[in-house]
């Protein structure tokens, strides 16, 4: 055997034995796909990937996404064998190994860098958190879009700073998920020729063979999407894998799908039943038999031959180091010719804003008629985006309604023929849109995406993963309540607000008027590691007179006293969010005429309020003032923490109704009369 072929086979066997040993030691995990894909991953990393293990943050590195996150040990083995360095949790400092052999031995154990599914920020070299099938494929489309935009925006004649490609591996489960179809359809439409998916067609899922529920021609489907479709009939044929990857790199007008036929748990001759091979350890006896088939020492555990490490160092290590070094030199020359653009690249990579980003923020004059907060948000968004070139996004086919189109000169549309545009058209694909936003953010774009609040349900799995990764994605949800009116209960969000509030790490902001919208955007843009859901109204809301009421800057603390009685301590507190704040103000005025002194608190964000010091929270909601009423056009779940056992929450207990929004609001009690009556009841109860 040729020496290089011998080293390749030895390296592949090393990957497979590390997978087997780690899963067996953990007594948990999925060895099959990782073992079957070892030759594919080896060929990609060792011979193709433009990646420097010594600098996993190099901006022009090729991206590798393991959409089939259950095969995590495949990635951990590669990170270990190629010597990928670790970055700290802020991605500012590079130090020791990302995945040491000790960490592989601790696979799936508490605190290890080798969790059951790959986690971004936790394990360096992991480009995105994957596990829920199809999400990684969706993220990879965002990364590819970012690559196209970065090239169009920053590259100049003689300077090709951005030319990276994106590779993603997924399996039959990924192909069954709807998000994959959404993302693939858009990728084909945009002709993302820098995107390659490798489909591990092993025809096995947890329940058994895929023909139980999956019999379509995946290749034909992707050809219909506009992809270049290639096939490798044996996952062990490294020459054919290399040829397919070369064909991808030579394809300039469409993304590429490489269908790779594999056998799960290849080399484990007695473990071909789906449940054991896919989702359980092989067992000690089967591991010995498999190692014997590889010509491997049967009793050796976590064996890594020194020549395998050297082999990877001579391959991906030396290639990546040369490419990254050349890029750094090119960037230094680029900085001399284009200092402003170079400064923008550095700021993007560190998630820092340009100087003067907020210089054009508007101030809205008092106006009783006012405007919908979706409208004022569109004004603010355009003012900010002019000063932050990498702030960009779009809607799931709803930009005219969500007011999220960038309208200033030069904004443009991102399309197959014009990848420098900043307005994205995601189509009716809320789930894929949000996964793509995550991919854009992982590539250091500052993305936003929008839709109606009711459709946040379609996007929720990707929202959750974005929060888990601490990505500063901006989610703009309009048509926030039963104020949607005639569209009826199918389009009137009731439970969505509290649902979003349950996502750890997600900031939910529901501003009350145009100037709170300004302050909301001021807060949002300064987050570097927090996603935000900005919740906006369809209907007009009065723009409050801030000479009469407290400044809107109080929004930054999540809740603030908007109005207090002029003649002493309040008898009751009315708490509102969004459109219901103006209702609380009117109710307070009515109560004042009855001799009841009411404090009105605007509470646009529970999460920001909970971050404040106890003294501040107690100043807004004094513990000894127990008469409280909250008003929000959604379910009341969770409001008990703020109104307490002696207070009352006015909200929704059913779905909505189809009628003009004023009629719907009256039907469900969002009136001055009901708020005043509820306040009276609370006060009466407090006197008994």
Q: What is the pLDDT of residues 106-147, one digit of tens each?
A: 999 999 999 999 999 999 999 999 999 999 999 999 999 999
CATH superfamily name and code, 367-542:
Thiamin diphosphate (ThDP)-binding fold, Pyr/PP domains (3.40.50.970)
At 95, is the pLDDT very low, low, confident or very high (cuts 50, 70, 90)? confident
Rounded distance, CA 167 to CA 78, Å?
Answer: 15
Residues near 255 by beta carbon (within 8 Å), at least 6 away in sequence: 144, 184, 187, 188, 191, 192, 193, 194, 195, 196, 197, 226, 227, 228
Q: What tens digit of pLDDT does each residue of 279-314 get?
A: 689 999 999 999 999 999 999 999 999 999 999 999
Rounded distance, CA 43 to CA 261, Å?
Answer: 15
Segments making up each domain of the chain, as ranges: 3-324, 367-542, 551-687
Phi, psi (5° rounding) for residue 47?
-110, -15
Q: What tens digit of pLDDT does each residue of 569-613 get?
A: 999 999 999 999 999 999 999 999 999 999 999 999 999 999 999
pLDDT at position 90 is 65
Residue with tokens 């109080």: 554
Query: Where is pLDDT greater, at 274 or 477?
Result: 477
Q: Which CATH architecture has domain 551-687?
A: 3-Layer(aba) Sandwich (3.40)
Check for a shared fold between 367-542 and 551-687: yes
Cβ–Cβ < 8 Å for 228, 258: no
Which percentage of the chain shows pLDDT scores above 90?
Answer: 93
Rounded distance, CA 295 to CA 297, Å?
Answer: 7
Residues near 477 by beta carbon (within 8 Å), at least 6 away in sequence: 450, 451, 452, 453, 456, 496, 533, 534, 535, 536
Rounded distance, CA 652 to CA 656, Å?
Answer: 8
Give all strands of the β-sheet with 195-201 in edge-to-edge order.
63-66, 166-171, 195-201, 256-261, 228-232
Q: Is 613 a catalytic residue?
A: no
Catalytic residue among 280, 286, 430, 580: 430
The kind and range of the H/E element at 424 are strand 423-425
- Report domain 3-324's class: alpha beta
pLDDT at 270 over 50: no
- Mean pLDDT value across the chain: 95
Q: What tens digit of pLDDT does each residue of 35-72 get?
A: 999 999 999 999 999 999 999 999 999 999 999 999 99
Q: What tens digit of pLDDT does each residue of 483-535 get?
A: 999 999 999 999 999 999 999 999 999 999 999 999 999 999 999 999 999 99
pLDDT at 366 over 80: yes
For 227-270, the DSSP string reads: -EEEEES-TT-HHHHHHHHHHHHT--SS-EEEEEE--TTTT-TT
pLDDT at 465 over 50: yes
pLDDT at position 277 is 46
């Amino acid at each position: 055997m040729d020496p290089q072929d011998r080293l390749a086979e030895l390296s592949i066997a090393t990957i497979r034995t590390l997978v087997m040993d780690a899963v067996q030691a953990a007594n948990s995990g999925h060895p099959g796909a990782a073992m079957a894909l070892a030759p594919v991953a080896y060929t990609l990393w060792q011979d193709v990937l433009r990646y420097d293990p010594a600098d996993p943050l190099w901006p022009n590195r090729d991206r590798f996404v393991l959409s089939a996150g259950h095969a995590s040990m495949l990635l951990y083995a590669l990170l270990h064998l190629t010597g990928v360095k670790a970055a700290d949790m802020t991605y500012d400092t590079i130090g020791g190994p990302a995945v040491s052999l000790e960490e592989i031995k601790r696979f799936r154990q508490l605190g290890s860098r080798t969790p059951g599914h790959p986690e971004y920020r936790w394990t360096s070299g992991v480009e995105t958190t994957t596990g829920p099938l199809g999400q990684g494929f969706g993220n990879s489309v965002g990364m590819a879009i970012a690559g196209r935009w970065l090239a169009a925006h920053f590259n100049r004649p003689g300077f090709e700073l951005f030319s990276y490609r994106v590779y993603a591996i997924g399996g039959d489960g990924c192909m069954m998920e709807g998000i994959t179809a959404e993302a693939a359809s858009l990728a084909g439409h945009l002709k993302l020729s820098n995107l390659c998916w490798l489909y591990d067609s092993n025809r096995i899922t947890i329940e058994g063979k895929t023909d139980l529920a999956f019999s379509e021609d995946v290749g034909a489907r992707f050809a219909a999407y506009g992809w270049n479709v290639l096939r490798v009939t044996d996952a062990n044929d490294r020459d054919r894998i290399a040829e397919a990857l070369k064909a991808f790199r030579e394809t300039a007008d469409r993304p590429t799908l490489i269908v790779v036929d594999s056998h799960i748990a290849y080399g484990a001759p007695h473990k071909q039943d789906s449940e054991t091979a896919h989702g359980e350890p092989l067992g000690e006896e089967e591991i010995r038999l498999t190692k014997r088939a590889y010509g491997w020492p049967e009793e050796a555990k976590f064996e890594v031959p020194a020549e395998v490490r050297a082999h990877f160092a001579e391959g991906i290590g030396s290639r990546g180091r040369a490419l990254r070094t050349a890029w750094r030199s090119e960037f230094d020359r680029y900085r001399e010719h284009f200092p402003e653009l170079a400064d923008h690249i550095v700021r993007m990579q560190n998630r820092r804003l340009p100087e003067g980003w907020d210089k054009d923020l508007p101030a809205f004059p008092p106006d009783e008629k006012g405007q919908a907060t979706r409208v004022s948000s569109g004004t603010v968004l355009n003012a900010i985006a002019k000063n932050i070139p990498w702030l960009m996004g779009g809607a799931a086919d709803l930009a005219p309604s969500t007011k999220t189109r960038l309208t200033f000169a030069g904004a443009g549309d991102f399309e197959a023929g014009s990848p420098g545009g900043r307005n994205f058209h995601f189509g009716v694909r809320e789930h894929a849109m949000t996964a793509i936003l995550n991919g854009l953010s992982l590539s250091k774009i500052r993305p936003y995406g929008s839709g109606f609040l009711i459709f946040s349900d379609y996007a929720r799995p990707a929202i959750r993963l974005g929060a888990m990764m601490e990505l500063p994605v901006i989610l703009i949800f309009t048509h926030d309540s039963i104020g949607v009116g005639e569209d009826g209960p199918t389009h009137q969000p009731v439970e969505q607000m509290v649902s979003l509030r349950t996502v750890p790490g997600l900031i939910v902001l529901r501003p009350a008027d145009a100037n709170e919208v300004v302050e909301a955007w001021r807060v949002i843009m300064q987050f570097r590691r927090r996603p935000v859901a900005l919740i906006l109204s369809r209907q007009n809301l009065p723009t409050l007179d801030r000479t009469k009421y407290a400044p809107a800057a109080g929004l930054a603390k999540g809740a603030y006293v908007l109005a207090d009685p002029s003649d002493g301590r309040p008898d009751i507190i009315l708490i509102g969010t969004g459109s219901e704040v103006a209702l609380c103000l009117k109710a307070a005025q009515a109560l004042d005429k009855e001799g009841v002194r009411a404090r009105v608190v605007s509470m646009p964000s529970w999460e920001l309020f909970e971050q404040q010091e106890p003294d501040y929270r107690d100043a807004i909601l004094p513990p000894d003032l127990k008469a409280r009423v909250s008003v929000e056009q959604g379910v009341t779940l969770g409001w008990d923490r703020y109104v307490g056992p002696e207070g009352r929450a006015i909200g929704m207990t059913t779905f909505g109704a189809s009628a003009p929004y004023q009629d719907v609001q009256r039907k469900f009690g969002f009136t001055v009369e009901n708020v005043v009556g509820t306040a009276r009841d609370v006060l009466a109860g407090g006197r008994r």
